[in-house]
């Protein structure tokens, strides 16, 4: 009898404030490079390191923008962190593995996030829970390699040409992936249209006429 293969899921956590073509491009490239069945976009209820940021749009608008950008692709937009009440990635990945024992997860992130990874709660534990694929992002190539977390993760690095074998890696394991560089960023989109969320939120009721 053939052993059923476990579904291979890439998780891209993000603020998606708003979602953009870069999220889609790196997800499609990762699907191929890592032989994934799906990428899940976990829309964060609030990045713990962006606590004081005043320009974070409501969850509903960020979720709706992600749904629009992900359409017609094997990308599932998820509110599971909102439902589970988890904000820290370490808690989310631990719970996801418990809830979905038949799925295999790999954490995806851009190289800007690797540069800050040592500030995440329980970052070493995250790396022991799931393999990590870091996607090169224009402007962050050097920051990523020089990331404080790389001091510890360097020994865990796997060659990119073996990326499809990630389900067999002993953890911690990290692979650096380089696709066609994608310059999109949410910061740039917010600068171009600070009220972008109005396209995704229900209209305010008009004031009663006098």
Ligand X SMILES: Nc1ncnc2c1ncn2[C@@H]1O[C@H](COP(=O)(O)OP(=O)(O)OP(=O)(O)O)[C@@H](O)[C@H]1O
Ligand Y SMILES: O=C(O)c1ccc[n+]([C@@H]2O[C@H](COP(=O)([O-])O)[C@@H](O)[C@H]2O)c1
Query: Which among ligand Y, ligand X, none contacts residue 48 (Cβ within 5 to 8 A by kind)?
Result: ligand Y
Q: Crossing angle for the helix pair 59-69 and 21-33, nearest 10 degrees? A: 60
CA 39/CA 203 separation, integer angstroms: 31
Alpha helix positions (H), 34-78: 59-69
Is there binding between residue 10 and ligand X (CB under 6 A)?
Answer: no
CA 146/CA 143 separation, integer angstroms: 5
Query: Which among ligand Y, ligand X, none contacts residue 131 (Cβ within 5 to 8 A by kind)?
Result: none
**Contact pick of 8, 113, 134, 144 for ligand Y (by CB under 6 A):** 113
Query: Which among ligand X, ligand Y, none contacts residue 50 (Cβ within 5 to 8 A by kind)?
Result: ligand Y
Is there binding between residue 50 and ligand Y (CB under 6 A)?
Answer: yes
Q: Are 96 and 11 in contact (CB under 8 A)?
A: yes
CA 24/CA 27 separation, integer angstroms: 5
**Contact pick of 47, 78, 167, 185 for ligand Y (by CB under 6 A):** 47
Per-position DSSP letters for 178-202, written without gaps between them: --S-----HHHHHHH-TTGGGGTSP
Query: Which among ligand Y, ligand X, none contacts residue 120 (Cβ within 5 to 8 A by kind)?
Result: ligand Y
Is there binding between residue 65 and ligand Y (CB under 6 A)?
Answer: no
Query: Which among ligand Y, ligand X, none contacts residue 26 (Cβ within 5 to 8 A by kind)?
Result: ligand X
**Contact pick of 137, 147, 156, 176 for ligand X (by CB under 6 A):** 137
Q: Interacting stretch for ligand X, rule CB under 6 A, among 80-88, 89-97, 117-125, 179-187?
A: 179-187
CB atoms within 10 A of CB 74: 13
Helix (H, G, I), strand (E, B) or coil at 42: strand
Would you tell me which residues interact with ligand Y (CB under 6 A)? 13-15, 42, 44, 47-50, 88-90, 113, 120-121
């Amino acid at each position: 009898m053939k052993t059923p293969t476990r579904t291979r899921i890439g998780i891209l956590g993000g603020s998606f404030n708003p979602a953009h073509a870069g999220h889609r491009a790196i997800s499609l490239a990762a699907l191929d490079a890592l032989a994934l069945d799906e990428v899940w976009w976990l829309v964060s209820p609030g990045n713990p390191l962006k606590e004081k940021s005043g320009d974070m749009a409501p969850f509903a608008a960020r979720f709706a923008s992600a749904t629009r950008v992900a359409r017609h692709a094997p990308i599932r937009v998820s509110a599971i962190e909102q439902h589970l009440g988890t904000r820290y990635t370490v808690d989310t990945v631990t719970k996801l593995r418990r809830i979905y024992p038949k799925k295999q997860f790999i954490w995806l992130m851009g190289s800007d996030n690797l540069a800050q990874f040592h500030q995440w709660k329980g970052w070493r534990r995250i790396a022991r829970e799931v393999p990590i694929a870091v996607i090169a992002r224009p402007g962050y190539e050097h920051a990523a390699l020089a990331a404080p977390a790389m001091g510890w993760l360097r020994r865990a690095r796997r060659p990119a040409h073996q990326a499809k074998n990630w389900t067999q890696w002993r953890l911690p394991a990290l692979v650096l992936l380089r696709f066609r560089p994608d310059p999109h960023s949410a910061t740039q989109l917010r600068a171009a249209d600070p009220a972008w969320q109005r396209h995704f939120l229900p209209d305010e009721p008009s004031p009663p006429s006098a």
